[in-house]
Structure formats: C-alpha cells, structure tokens
Amino acid sequence: MSIHHYPTTRPLAQRSRRWWQPLWHLLLRLFFPPKPVPVGPPPPPPLPPVVTYRQDVPHPILVPAKGDAFDFRLHVVYTWRARHMSVEELRLRAEGYLGWAGGVVREQAIDLAREHEPHCSRDLERALNNVLLGQRWPRDETRPHFTVQVRVSPDERIRERLRPYWEERIKLECDHELQKIRASQADDLTRRWGAVLQALEDDPVTAHAARLTGEQFAEVFRRYAEERRGTVPELLTLLREAVRGHNDLGLGPSEYTEAWDAALRTYERQNGIGPRAN
C-alpha cells in the first residue's frame, strides 16, 4: 500500500503572518503606548576635594582680664577650608580676611576674659577653647570658612610678679624631695649597720676582725662596744636587786621575781657573762 503525501497550507499561513505582524506591532504602539518607567533624580555630582590652609597669626589679640587692669594675650591659629580653589588662592583669601577673623575671635573672648583673674590664663584657655570648639565662620560651606584654636598667656607684668612665687615653690618642692631621699637613705643605712653590728657583737673575734675593715669602721665599732659594755653593770645591778625583791622597787609578788630572774639570765647569756653567783 502506497502512502501519498498531500501538500498542506502551513507554509502559506506562515507567509501571511510575516507581512501583517509588523503592522500589528505598529498599531499596538500607536494605540497602546508602553507606560514610562519612573526614574529618580540623577545622582548629585561628586563634591570637589576640600582644600585646607593653616594660618598662624604672628601677633596676639589682647582682651582685658577681670578688673580691666591687665590683658590676656590670645595666640590664635586659624584652619581655613574651601572648595573649588587652589591652596594658593585660599591662602590669599585668608590673608585678606585676617582682620575680620580677628574681630570674630575677640568678640567671642572678651566677655569670657573679664570673668577670669589676670593670673588665671590657663583657666581662660580651657573655657575659651570649649566655646570655640565646633564653631566656624562663616557658616556657609560654599565660601571659605575657618575654625580657630587659642592659646592664652598672661600679661608680661603678671609673669614678672608670678616669677618669685614659682621660684620659691620650686625650691621648697626640691628641698622636700631631697629630704625624703636623705631620710630614705638614712633609714636604709641604719638598718644595714644595725644588722652588721648585731652580727659582730655576737661573735667574740669580731672586735679584732673589725680593725681589718678600715680605721673609721674600727673606731665606730670600738665606741659601740664600749658603750654597750658600760651599760651592763648598771643593768645587772638593777636586775639583781629586782630578784632579791627590794622594797624600794615595789616588787613583792613571786611572779615578778621569777620574771626578773628570767630576764637576768637572758641578758647574761647574750652578753657573754657567766652564771650569776648565789
């Protein structure tokens, strides 16, 4: 059985769609235009880099202290900042604004300075820098602006009057420290010599050995030994009388007599003295 292939109309239909599809898309765009996609504002352009210039003012600004008899001297340092300009241009503008900037600082400082006594420049410096911290002039960022830091010194006449006070205070503090060092060294030396003399005293041959260490030490040790020996007879007499229970010492009970007897024996043994006679 043979199979017959009949031609179809599919190629004709495909050819017919080819010519009207572009027309269809055109009609859709005309009568049903696509909705525009919302677009946000364009990003801002990048800011130009900040240019800075440090300006050290050579001459101080004078403001009156409390009582208006003396002046504080304000040593000012400005930090200028700007955009859209070179460092050289910013420097020229800062020099042109120097008088105006000095007036701003003086206006900020004058009332505060009158609250401080003439010799309290350090206190004024802290208070004034706390007031100026975070401020800038002018406040418009599009123009060159500055921040400021201040160092305060007293009037020269105040410095001369403070000089004797500080000289005396420094001398007293130095003398005090020197006395502390001397006392510490004397205490250490006393402890060391006490240990040495105690060790020498317990050894019967040290009186002769001491002569070998130096003339000065030998003389000191000789005097020390003689003084210690000189007190022995007096103390022995006192102890023996206490043991016998003399009435003039007020010793009657037996427990006191036993305590004095123990003390006498200990002292005789420490000083190399033989047993006491009955």
pLDDT at position 13 is: 54
CB 128 within 8 A of CB 76: no
Residue 17 lies in a domain: no
The confidence score (pLDDT) of residue 111 equals 96
- pLDDT interval class at 278 (50, 70, 90): very low
- Whether 15 maps to a domain, the answer reads no
Mean pLDDT of the chain: 77
Domain co-membership, 71 together with 141 = yes
The tokens for 172 are: 């007293």
Domain count, the chain: 3
Q: What pLDDT digit, counting tens, does each position of 96-138 carry?
A: 999 999 999 999 999 999 999 999 999 999 999 999 998 999 9
On whether the CB atoms of residues 271 and 232 are closer than 8 A, the answer is yes
Per-residue DSSP letter, 247: G
Q: Which amino acid is at 208?
A: H
pTM: 0.54
- Residue 107 sits in the same domain as residue 180: no
Asked whether residue 44 is assigned to any structural domain, the reply reads: no
Kindly report the CATH number assigned to the domain that includes residue 78. 3.30.479
Expressed as residue numbers, the domain containing 177 is: 169-197
Q: Please report whether residue 226 resides in a domain.
A: yes
